[in-house]
Amino acid sequence: MEGWMYPASILLLALLAFSFFRSGNNIMAGLALVIGVYIIYSHETGYTATDFKKEMVDEIDKKADRYKSDLNSEKDLK
């Protein structure tokens, strides 16, 4: 069943984008295309939005720790 999920979702999004475009709703057609591109990209590369979020949270955490240690070292100098 999982083998059919990827092609079925791409086909559904393509049909939705076509339908939205034909009815004159270009914003929704563009949104359907963007979602389709994201699905294809994440399927091919394995890099998802969750991975991106985790990287950003880790990076912010590291910078906050660095900032905290810089503030503590400045307090020690005074």
Whether residue 36 sits in one domain with residue 10: yes
Are residues 42 and 48 in contact, defined by beta-carbon separation less than 8 angstroms?
yes
Whether residue 38 sits in one domain with residue 57: no
The three state secondary structure string of the chain is CHHHHHHHHHHHHHHHHHHHHHCCCHHHHHHHHHHHHHHHHHHHHCCCHHHHHHHHHHHHHHHHHHHHHHHHHHHHHC
Whether residue 9 sits in one domain with residue 42: yes
Q: What is the residue type of 28?
A: M
pLDDT per residue as tens digits for the range 19-44: 999 999 999 999 999 999 999 999 88
Domain total of the chain: 2
* pTM greater than 0.75 (yes/no): no
